[in-house]
Structure 1
Amino acid sequence: MGAAGRVRRWAVRGLALLLGCLLAFAFPAPALWWLGWAGLAPLLMLFARAGSYREAGWRSSLASVGFFLTFFHWVLPQVGLLALAMAIVAGVLWVPFGLLTFRLLREPSPARVALAGIVLPSVWVSVEAVRSWQHLGGPWGLLGLTQWQVRPVLALAALGGVWLLSAVLVAANVGFAAAALPGASRAVRLAGASLAVVVAGLVLGHGLLRPDAAVTGTIRVAGVQAGVVHDAEQRFARHVDLTRTVRGHGQDLVVWGQSSMPFDPAQRPDAVSRLRQTAESVGSDVLVNVDARGTDGRIRKTTQQYGAGGLVGTYEKRRLVPFGEYVPMRSLLGGLLQDTGIADEDRAPGVEPSILRAGGVRLGPLISYESIFPDLRREVVRHGADVTVVQGSLTSFHGTWAHPVQASAEAVRAVESGRSAVLVELDGTSAAFDAQGRRLAWMPPDERGIFVVDVPIHEGSTLYVRWGDWVPATAYVITAVTLVFLGSRVLLRR
């Protein structure tokens, strides 16, 4: 290959990198949700016209690097040398997707377009499910989360969770790519356009015809978003003062954000007394969040519910943030990551879910990072939760995409679980959504004070709660069968 050919090759690879960056703008804060439907199509066309498997691998890996480093730009300053490892892992993630796109669409036919409309969404969802493992950082940046504001589309999450949303978006992108593929026959273009139209039509039809979940009552929740106060005593006092201002609002519960109490009330009788007095004065229980060393010497993050009579119930955070609250393989990685934002001491995880009660309503508590995991939300609903409540804090990422990304995901979690969701941040974007994904409250990170919201109580159970992760399971099977089939054909040829 001559110099001109090499320049062209790297120019196309650079284009793949830029298109990967652009796809990240489908997520908040830009929230260009329509990119979820069409932003992947140009990349599919680049992969299909790569000319070789090696080049398809290059293009898909660079697109992956562009997407993940753009989406996670807010965490890079916190991780130091770990950013290099993140880039390497990101570069590998989309390679199978790029290779199979090349295999299926390099010589397209209507049958291959139809097959790609099944196989490629399955591969995509399989990759998303694998990278959503809690020790790899969890399910951030899933394509289906881009549709949190599009209620007719969002309704699909009640059937198969965020995974089904991702699958239909990829299928539509496959259709758009085939319809616009250079050199494709009219039959291929028609097959691609038909695929995109049918997928979009089925999704919108389901969303528009799906009845709203039945409402059996409401619970009035007051959220306290106090902002960053570094001194422990001042932070506690700030929350108490703000809580007292909700007197007369008729709330059933007051919720503080994560780490709102940086000391253990069990070792501070005076703090317990103030919490009891505060609950009595405002006429409702107060849900605080303790981030402190317990009597056993371990640091835990704990939801604690206080009423006029004292401690009512507790929940310990079970799923911890890798590197933020514990370090995997600390003996190996701890020394390499000194002077970064990693946890200097591993927190102790809880072991089981809890159901709290306020105003006759059963509450499913979760803490910050746990809010992004669909399985934890399903679990508390199966244990009887009427409403899910998340206490969060994103103080390390103030002013970044992290705030609206976490808040917007609550809309998807609410539809998945069939339960209203409330998120209260210490510093971040607090929000509340009903079971249809309608926004009930939204408090941006620069605002301080309280918000009061009437949260509907829904009955019934979604298919996703009953069946669980059937979409990733199906995607794994389809992906495995495809790889075995293609691999056997290669071996037979040899």
Structure 2
Amino acid sequence: MGAAGRVRRWVARGVALLLGCLLVLAFPAPALWWLAWVGLAPLVVLFARAGSYREAGWRSCLASAGFFLTFFHWVLPQVGLLALAVAVVAAVVWVPFGLLTYQLLREPSPGRVALAGVVLPSVWVSVEVVRSWERLGGPWGILGLTQWQVPPVLDVAALGGMWLLSAVLVAVNVGLAAAALPGVSRAVRFSGAGLAVVVAASALGYGLLRADPAMTGTIRVAGVQAGVIHDPGQRFARHVELTRTVRGRGQDVVVWGQSSMAFDPARRPDTVTLLRETAAAVGSDVLVNVDARGTDGRIRKTAQQYGAGGLVGTYEKRRLVPFGEYVPLRSLLGGLLRDTGIADEDRAPGVEPSILRVGAVRLGPLISYESVFPDLRRELVRRGADVTVVQGSLTSFHGTWAHPVQASAEAIRAVESGRSAVLVELDGTSAAFDARGRRLAWLPPDARGIFVVEVPIHEGSTPYVRWGDWVPATAFVITVATLVLLGSRALLRIRPR
């Protein structure tokens, strides 16, 4: 390859890196949701025109690194030396997608375009599911989450979760890329444009035709967003003070954010008495959140519901934040990460989900990090939850994109589960959405005080709750079948010397 060829190659790699960074703008806080419909198409063209598998791998690596390092820029300062490992993992995430794009679209035909419209979204979703494993940080940066503000499209989540939203977006981008590929036939262009139009129209049509879920009543939820108060005693006192101001506002329950109590009430009878008196004074139960060492010596994060008569119900956080609440392979990594923001002691996970009752209403509680996992909502709905409530806190990432990203994901969770969702942050963006993803409340990170929201109670079950993760299962089958088929064809082409 001559000098000019090398220059063109590195320019293409730089463009791939830049396009990966720009795709992040589809997520909050920029929230340019429309970019998710077209922003991947230029990358598909770059991968398809790479000229070799090696170059397709390079371009996909750089695009992936650009996307993930830009998306997670807010967490990198917290992880110290672990940032290098994050960068390496980020760089390889999109490689399967890039290689198969080159395989399918380097010599496109209408049949190959149709095949790419099935295979590439499946590969993309398979990769998203694998990297969403709780020990890898959970499902952050999932492409489908960008559509939380687009009601007709958002309804697709009720059918197949955020995974189906991602598949729709990738299929449309693949179609647009095929239509824009240089030097292809008119038939290929028509095939690509047709793929994009049919998939987009199907998603919009489903949303427009879907009926509102039946509503059986409402529950008034008061959220307390007190902000960062480092002294445990002052933090608790401030929450009590704010809670008492809701008297007379007709709320059914008051919800505090994650870690609103840094000590175990069971060890302080005076605290339990004050919580009982507060519940009696405001005329409703209070849902607090305890981040403290229990009687067994282990630290747990626990939602505790107090009424005028005392403790009513509890829930222990089951999915813990890797490195934030526990350290995988602590004996190996603990010394390397001692001066970073990692947990100095592993929290103990809970075991079972819980349903908390507020009068006749059944609340499904989750705690912070757990809010991003759709399977936990499905489990709560199957157990009878009428509304899901998340107690959150993002104090380590104040002022970053992490706040609106977590809050906006509640819209997706609400549509997936068919239940209204309420998120109350100690410090972050508190929000509430009904079962169609319509915003009921939005309290920015710098806001302090009380908000009260009338939350609809819905009945019925979405296809996603009934059928579960059928989209990832289908995507895995298609991806594996494609790899087996391509591997078999490669072996058949091998000839003995």
Shorter-chain TM-score tier: over 0.9
Cα offset for 1:11?
1.4
Q: Gaps (5+ residues) in structure 2?
A: none
DSSP-derived class of the 2:66 partner? helix
Provide the C-alpha distance between the structure 2 equivalents of 1:101 and 1:276, rounded to a whole number of angstroms. 61
Structure 1 residue 273 corresponds to structure 2 residue 273: yes
Counterpart of 1:181, as a letter, is L
Cα offset for 1:3?
2.8
Cα offset for 1:53?
0.2
Structure 1 residue 136 corresponds to structure 2 residue 159: no
Provide the C-alpha distance between the structure 2 equivalents of 1:401 and 1:34, rounded to a whole number of angstroms. 18
DSSP-derived class of the 1:168 partner? helix
CA deviation map 1:276-311 (0-9, x unaligned) = 010000000000000000111100000000000000
Q: Aligned residue for 1:202?
A: 202
Cα offset for 1:35?
1.1
Q: Aligned residue for 2:251?
A: 251
Cα offset for 1:336?
1.1
Provide the C-alpha distance between the structure 2 equivalents of 1:166 and 1:359, rounded to a whole number of angstroms. 38
Q: Aligned residue for 2:288?
A: 288
CA deviation map 1:23-74 (0-9, x unaligned) = 1110000000011111100000000000000000000011000000010000
Q: Aligned residue for 1:12?
A: 12
Q: Aligned residue for 2:219?
A: 219
Cα offset for 1:6?
1.9
Provide the C-alpha distance between the structure 2 equivalents of 1:17 and 1:461, rounded to a whole number of angstroms. 42
DSSP-derived class of the 1:313 partner? strand
Structure 1 residue 237 corresponds to structure 2 residue 237: yes
Report 1:65-464 matches (<5 A). Answer: 65-464=65-464
Provide the C-alpha distance between the structure 1 equivalents of 2:153 and 2:204, rounded to a whole number of angstroms. 6
CA deviation map 1:109-160 (0-9, x unaligned) = 1110000000000000000000000000000000000000001000000010
Q: Aligned residue for 2:475?
A: 475
CA contact (8 A) 1:253 1:359 kept: no
Provide the C-alpha distance between the structure 1 equivalents of 2:75 and 2:301, rounded to a whole number of angstroms. 21
CA contact (8 A) 1:82 1:337 kept: yes
Cα offset for 1:8?
2.0
Provide the C-alpha distance between the structure 1 equivalents of 2:359 and 2:330, rounded to a whole number of angstroms. 44
CA contact (8 A) 1:252 1:284 kept: yes
Cα offset for 1:443?
0.1
Cα offset for 1:317?
0.1
DSSP-derived class of the 1:484 partner? helix
Provide the C-alpha distance between the structure 1 equivalents of 2:457 and 2:56, rounded to a whole number of angstroms. 49
DSSP-derived class of the 2:335 partner? coil
CA deviation map 1:339-388 (0-9, x unaligned) = 00110100000000000011310000000000000001101111110000
Percent identity of equivalent pairs: 85
DSSP-derived class of the 2:247 partner? coil
Provide the C-alpha distance between the structure 1 equivalents of 2:101 and 2:376, rounded to a whole number of angstroms. 33
Cα offset for 1:216?
0.2
CA deviation map 1:231-285 (0-9, x unaligned) = 0000000000000110010000000000000100000111111100100000000
CA contact (8 A) 1:219 1:359 kept: no
Provide the C-alpha distance between the structure 2 equivalents of 1:197 and 1:184, rounded to a whole number of angstroms. 19
CA contact (8 A) 1:20 1:65 kept: yes
- RMSD over aligned Cα, in angstroms? 0.6
Cα offset for 1:4?
2.8
Cα offset for 1:88?
0.6
Give the number of aligned pairs.
494
Q: Aligned residue for 1:34?
A: 34
Q: Give the TM-score, by structure 2 length.
A: 0.99
